[in-house]
Amino acid sequence: MFKKTLMAIIVGTTVFTSVGVASAATLPPVQKPSLAIDLIVDGKRVTLPDTEPYIDNAGNTMVPIRFVSEKLGADVKWDNEKQIVTIIHKGNTIVMPVGSKKVTVNGSEIILDTMAIKKEGRVVVPLRFVSETLNAEVKWDGAWSAVNITSPDYQSKIDNGTVTLDRWGRELRANQNSDEWILMSDTPDNVYKIGKYKIYHMTSTSPATEFGDRFTKDELDRIVKNVKEYYKLALNVDYRTFNYSIYFNNLFKLLGHNGYINPAGSQKYTSFVKENKLIVEGYAFPDPTTIYDYYGTSFIRTKFKFRVLNATDPSQFSRDSFDPSEVSESPEWVKVGQWYETYSDVSLFTNSQDYRATLKTGNTENMFRKGFYVHKELTIIV
């Protein structure tokens, strides 16, 4: 495990108690879970330290303003008294008051169909407007729920061959010196050093570079979307609204199985959610370039982001960490209110001969297999 710090400057601040269970007056409001949206800026898949992109009721992708703008080379200023964000980039000035659809670009007023708002203490804005005003191209890929933002300078590097991208618009490392992985420039070395989880304790005969090529982009997009949907269910739990029937029915749809799932585990977990007063939110970001095979069992290396907002025992916050088997553990390092980033392999399963078209999340115990994951805290500098 590693304990490095991801540092980012974000507008506003959010404070949570480190005590496990909060009083009713201090509990966060019930939230609607969001599907993970991969955010790729100039070829790099990035991790936000807290508030994630989301799609509002008007269909706009909303993002924390400072993070995206500064990734594109802009200077961002925040006037807390007036609640105004100012973005300065290559001679252009955008002024966005929070709570107003009226913004100014170089002194000219524009009316938006949405507005900058505060979400969990962060200022979030419509991604497309800000990016295009900063002269960056924005592409939405709904097949795997991702936004790709490309600045003109980076597009020049693509055009002249200085950088090479994969099928999802992510930058490949120039030095592909691994026999097991397609190496991405946005992925730390230690992530590739996590051992491959071996259900049958055998040696792989299918390097990821070969196995991944067996799948089309559409097939891999479907697998990635399934894992995201499963962890939207598994990592967004609130004891105040948790319903066993809804949970189990969704579990049945999202997991790969033989047509039957023993409900006992879900019933036991439901009781624990209520007793533990569990509130947790989180996301899964599978990497389609990392799919690999161990004699019929497939895995995909996945980045997770989560925080426990309330719990008697924060180490058992999901089916991945609740009542673990002998191969997994409940992470005792989890603190209430702290965002974490972890990497591990998600197993995939199907009972169909149409293998590539039907692979789904294959297990409820993926995130904390002993010796097969890494984690770090996400730290915010205001």
Question: What are the residue ranges of helices labelled H in the chain?
Answer: 65-71, 127-133, 152-159, 189-192, 208-212, 217-234, 244-254, 264-275, 355-358
Which residues form the domain of 117? Answer: 34-159
Domain for residue 171, yes or no? no
Domain for residue 21, yes or no? no
- Domain count within the chain: 2
Task: Check whether residue 341 and residue 265 sit in a common domain.
Answer: yes
Rounded distance, CA 274 to CA 240, Å?
8
Q: What is the pLDDT of residue 120?
A: 80
- Tell me which residue of 115, 123, 131, 352 sits closest to 256, measured CA to CA: 352
Residue 239 belongs to domain with CATH number: 3.10.450
In the sheet that holds 117-119, the strands lie side by side as 54-55, 61-64, 122-126, 117-119
Q: How does pLDDT run across 288-320, given as a tens digit for each residue?
A: 999 998 777 899 999 999 999 999 999 999 999
Q: Residue range 87-93: average pLDDT?
A: 91
Rounded distance, CA 166 to CA 344, Å?
21
Domain for residue 269, yes or no? yes
Contact between residue 215 and residue 300 where contact means Cβ atoms under 8 Å apart: no
Q: Residue range 195-209: average pLDDT?
A: 53
At 1, the pLDDT band (50, 70, 90 cuts) reads very low
End-to-end CA distance of the chain: 27
What DSSP string describes 75-101? EEEEETTTTEEEEEETTEEEEEETT-S
The pTM for the full model equals 0.88
What is the residue type of 327? V
Domain for residue 27, yes or no? no
Task: Check whether residue 302 and residue 250 sit in a common domain.
Answer: yes
Burial of 260 from C-beta contacts in 10 A (0-12 / 13-18 / 19+): exposed
Q: Is 146 helix (H, G, I), strand (E, B) or coil?
A: strand
Average pLDDT, the chain: 88
Q: What is the pLDDT of residue 122?
A: 85
Q: What is the pLDDT of residue 133?
A: 82
Task: Check whether residue 155 and residue 217 sit in a common domain.
Answer: no
Give the orientation angle of helix 244-254 with respect to helix 264-275, to 10 degrees: 130
Domain for residue 307, yes or no? yes
Task: Check whether residue 67 and residue 208 sit in a common domain.
Answer: no
Task: Check whether residue 150 and residue 253 sit in a common domain.
Answer: no
At 211, the pLDDT band (50, 70, 90 cuts) reads low
Rounded distance, CA 342 to CA 327, Å?
17
Q: What is the pLDDT of residue 115?
A: 86
Using CA atoms, how far residue 74 sits from 52, 56, 81, 203, 356, in Å, is 20, 24, 22, 48, 42
Domain for residue 339, yes or no? yes
Reply yes or no on whether the pLDDT at 14 is more than 60: no
Q: Quick one: what percent of the chain has pLDDT higher than 90? A: 66
Q: How does pLDDT run across 318-362, given as a tens digit for each residue?
A: 999 999 999 999 999 999 999 999 999 999 999 888 888 899 999
Rounded distance, CA 354 to CA 230, Å?
21
